[in-house]
Structure 1
Amino acid sequence: MAETRKALVTGSSGFIGYHLCRRLLADGFQVIGLDNMSDYYDVTLKQRRQAMLSQDPGFQVVNDSVETPGLMMQLFDTHRPDVVIHLAAQAGVRYSIDNPRAYLESNIVGTFEILEAARAFPPQHMLLASTSSAYGANTKMPYAETDRADHQMSFYAATKKATEGMAHSYAHLFGLPVTMFRFFTVYGPWGRPDMAPIKFTARILRGEPIDVYNNGEMKRDFTYIDDLVEGIRLLIDAAPATPENGQVPEGDSLSPVAPWRVVNIGNSEAVELDDFIAAIEAATGRKALRNLMPMQAGDVPATWADANLLKSLTGYQPKTRVTEGVAAFVAWYRDYYNV
């Protein structure tokens, strides 16, 4: 009988962390979760997610911050995880303009603590969350992992791009297999209330106008949560190895000098913001009142993933249509908020 694999998931009570932990537990993993229950958004939502995860005997959680000195070293020493999925981060583009220090501490220092712990107690594979915001000012679409990404537009994006470089150095120096995954606009049940899907749905159901930035001239690669989780789950078993003689296959973002690569997880489709709003209108049975606004600082007009590398590594490509995903999200929203 195969030995149960251990996974350490940081940000386990967050939107993505909750769904990923559920999937790993269903697949027979023993899961150690870490979450500091930040009040960046409604803590009640995180408490509900954590309570549901805690009903599974294979799950145990530590409520603390990833950047706490020595904490990650202690967790790695105690549990010796086979797989580490690092999702904990201070999120949000606009909040990073007002409170950049939170991003420095959580994203940069927190990732450093994890890398140091992995250096001492190496897991079989580390998967660290990055973001499509790393592509910054790039205008070539769709975004491919082999494109240069040098001009981040927000401090949030800059910290996530920095963690990619930090992880590469540890992969090269200490042979740690690392996959950085860049995800796009993720939505679905149990989503973050600071994100557009909940903001739009709540206001549309109340008959209040929604703020539509850049006068609606926006495109996003909307990725349903189940598709993102499936991509992460399959990448766990696709650990990179340093290529022989530095020869990297065409289209692969694999480093020539380290067991490190970056992978997009997106729907491979740029959806007009108006079409996303129309899907919410259809699911709610209400028309949206639009308050057209200029572009916000740090934002970009479009994101669009080239997901061919994910498909070549795992055989999987996200496939949930926006109309299906939004309908499932709105159904959850009505149930959770008793609307």
Structure 2
Amino acid sequence: MNKNKKSVLVTGSKGFIGSNAAKHFRNLGFEIFGIGHGDLANVELVKFGLDHWKNANVTIEAMRDYGISFDIIIHCGGSGSVGFSVENPYGDFKKTVDGTLEVLEFIRLYSPESKLIYPSSPAVQGEHCDSPILESYVGKPCSPYGYHKKIAEELCRSYSEKYGLKVSIVRLFSVYGVGLRKQLLWDAVGKLSKENSEADFWGTGQETRDFIHIDDVMYIFEQLAKQNLDFVLVNGGTGIKTSIRQTVEKIREYLKKEVNIVFNNEIVPSNPMYYCASMGHISSLIDCNFKPLEPGLLEYVTWASNEQ
């Protein structure tokens, strides 16, 4: 452990967002401590942007074992799947809610100067009309994943108000980028790369999403970590909506495939129809000159088509 460096703890640091956070803050000169599942050899630490690694659940004991007070904690640990939450609500609750409570108690008791960054989701708000979603909008989650994220957010707010913890919650919309091996973009590249005449997708194709590149997510984390705010909740999106049909058709174009795209028109109750971030609040805090979708999507399709 380097006493001359500031420290960042990243929970869930082997995941897509967690590993990118670890690498980003390591490149900024921080010493990076990770907690998550699975063994990592020393030669693998650099791959995930880590200086130190602990194969453990996110618990007070695991965090205390490092023996230091962290400057920043980025809590990416927890469930990252709506589907998993529907199939296993108990497991999803334990991962998301219990893990967040452990982090908050650790900060309260042993690392009160830590700044906490918590990636959340607009799933806490559920269905919304076809207009940008304000952070203040109070909706009804459509899935256990959304309910559990909502509980975790309220825990963060409570600990900030009652115990003076510095907490930044970022409701991340549709994060994408090289390295993401799940969700719509990954699945679409796989389906459209096959030598088939037709590719089938769920929904109507009219559903909209707000895609934000992982580099811009890291920029948001970095800028919020620089500020000395007691509590802030912001949208992590771009304010630009893109339909699923448009997105899939663009992927087909990049792949140069002649594939008929078919939507089954089946509505998935746990997936809201419209997602687009209101950018007013976050724009008042940081410069939001984010990457347009098309160059980032082309980069992603090029990478994903070589990985499948």
Q: State whether TM-score is above 0.5.
A: yes
Q: Which amino acid aligns with 2:82?
A: V
Of 77, 83, 90, 1:101 maps to 90
Q: Residue 73 of structure 1 contacts residue 113 of structure 1 at CA under 8 Å; is this kept in 2?
A: no
Where does the alignment leave 5 or more consecutive residues of structure 2 unmatched?
none
TM-aligned CA deviation for residue 299 of structure 1: 1.0
For 1:55 and 1:291, locate their aligned partners in 2 and report how far apart those are by CA, in whole Å.
37
C-alpha distance after superposition, 1:234-258 (max 9, x if no partner): 1111231xxxxxxxxxxxxxxxxxx
Query: What are the residue-to-residue correspondences of 1:302-321 with 2, within 5 Å?
Result: 302-318=274-290, 320-321=291-292
Q: Residue 84 of structure 2 contacts residue 92 of structure 2 at CA under 8 Å; is this kept in 1?
A: no
Of 77, 100, 121, 1:131 maps to 121
- When residues 271 and 7 of structure 1 are mapped into structure 2, their CA distance, relative to the original with a 3 A threshold, is same
- When residues 143 and 182 of structure 1 are mapped into structure 2, their CA distance, relative to the original with a 3 A threshold, is same
- Residue 189 (structure 1) aligned with residue 178 (structure 2): yes
Q: Residue 107 of structure 1 contacts residue 160 of structure 1 at CA under 8 Å; is this kept in 2?
A: yes
- When residues 298 and 161 of structure 1 are mapped into structure 2, their CA distance, relative to the original with a 3 A threshold, is same
Q: Residue 23 of structure 1 contacts residue 229 of structure 1 at CA under 8 Å; is this kept in 2?
A: yes
Of 248, 255, 258, 1:284 maps to 255
- When residues 336 and 304 of structure 1 are mapped into structure 2, their CA distance, relative to the original with a 3 A threshold, is same
- When residues 23 and 140 of structure 1 are mapped into structure 2, their CA distance, relative to the original with a 3 A threshold, is same
For 2:173 and 2:75, locate their aligned partners in 1 and report how far apart those are by CA, in whole Å.
16
Q: Residue 60 of structure 2 contacts residue 106 of structure 2 at CA under 8 Å; is this kept in 1?
A: no
Query: What are the residue-to-residue correspondences of 1:245-324 with 2, within 5 Å?
Result: 259-293=230-264, 294-318=266-290, 320-324=291-295
Q: Residue 311 of structure 1 contacts residue 317 of structure 1 at CA under 8 Å; is this kept in 2?
A: no
Q: Which amino acid aligns with 1:302?
A: Y
Counterpart of 1:20 in structure 2 is 21
- When residues 197 and 140 of structure 1 are mapped into structure 2, their CA distance, relative to the original with a 3 A threshold, is closer
C-alpha distance after superposition, 1:99-120 (max 9, x if no partner): 1111111001111111110011
TM-aligned CA deviation for residue 122 of structure 1: 1.2
Of 52, 58, 74, 1:60 maps to 52
Counterpart of 1:248 in structure 2 is none
For 1:330 and 1:292, locate their aligned partners in 2 and report how far apart those are by CA, in whole Å.
20
C-alpha distance after superposition, 1:53-88 (max 9, x if no partner): 3586x621112221x46323434xx13110011011
For 1:170 and 1:227, locate their aligned partners in 2 and report how far apart those are by CA, in whole Å.
27
TM-aligned CA deviation for residue 27 of structure 1: 0.6
Q: Which amino acid aligns with 1:215?
A: T
Q: Which amino acid aligns with 1:32?
A: F
What SS does structure 2 have at the residue aligned with 1:139? coil
How many residue pairs align between the two structures?
A: 302
- Residue 91 (structure 1) aligned with residue 80 (structure 2): yes
TM-aligned CA deviation for residue 280 of structure 1: 0.8
Of 296, 300, 304, 1:329 maps to 300
What SS does structure 1 have at the residue aligned with 2:235? strand
For 1:101 and 1:202, locate their aligned partners in 2 and report how far apart those are by CA, in whole Å.
31
- Residue 172 (structure 1) aligned with residue 161 (structure 2): yes
- Residue 72 (structure 1) aligned with residue 44 (structure 2): no
For 1:315 and 1:322, locate their aligned partners in 2 and report how far apart those are by CA, in whole Å.
18
Counterpart of 2:102 in structure 1 is 113
Q: Residue 116 of structure 2 contacts residue 168 of structure 2 at CA under 8 Å; is this kept in 1?
A: yes
For 2:52 and 2:47, locate their aligned partners in 1 and report how far apart those are by CA, in whole Å.
7
For 2:255 and 2:181, locate their aligned partners in 1 and report how far apart those are by CA, in whole Å.
19
- When residues 126 and 69 of structure 1 are mapped into structure 2, their CA distance, relative to the original with a 3 A threshold, is closer
- When residues 224 and 117 of structure 1 are mapped into structure 2, their CA distance, relative to the original with a 3 A threshold, is same
C-alpha distance after superposition, 1:202-249 (max 9, x if no partner): 111113444423221210001111111111111111231xxxxxxxxx
For 1:216 and 1:6, locate their aligned partners in 2 and report how far apart those are by CA, in whole Å.
44
What SS does structure 2 have at the residue aligned with 1:332? helix
Q: Residue 11 of structure 1 contacts residue 33 of structure 1 at CA under 8 Å; is this kept in 2?
A: yes
TM-aligned CA deviation for residue 174 of structure 1: 1.0
Q: Which amino acid aligns with 2:271?
A: D
Q: Residue 122 of structure 2 contacts residue 171 of structure 2 at CA under 8 Å; is this kept in 1?
A: yes
C-alpha distance after superposition, 1:87-141 (max 9, x if no partner): 1111111221111111111001111111110011213311111101112123262
Q: Residue 35 of structure 2 contacts residue 53 of structure 2 at CA under 8 Å; is this kept in 1?
A: yes
Counterpart of 2:152 in structure 1 is 163
For 2:280 and 2:24, locate their aligned partners in 1 and report how far apart those are by CA, in whole Å.
23
Counterpart of 1:34 in structure 2 is 35
Q: Which amino acid aligns with 1:324?
A: P
For 1:47 and 1:284, locate their aligned partners in 2 and report how far apart those are by CA, in whole Å.
35
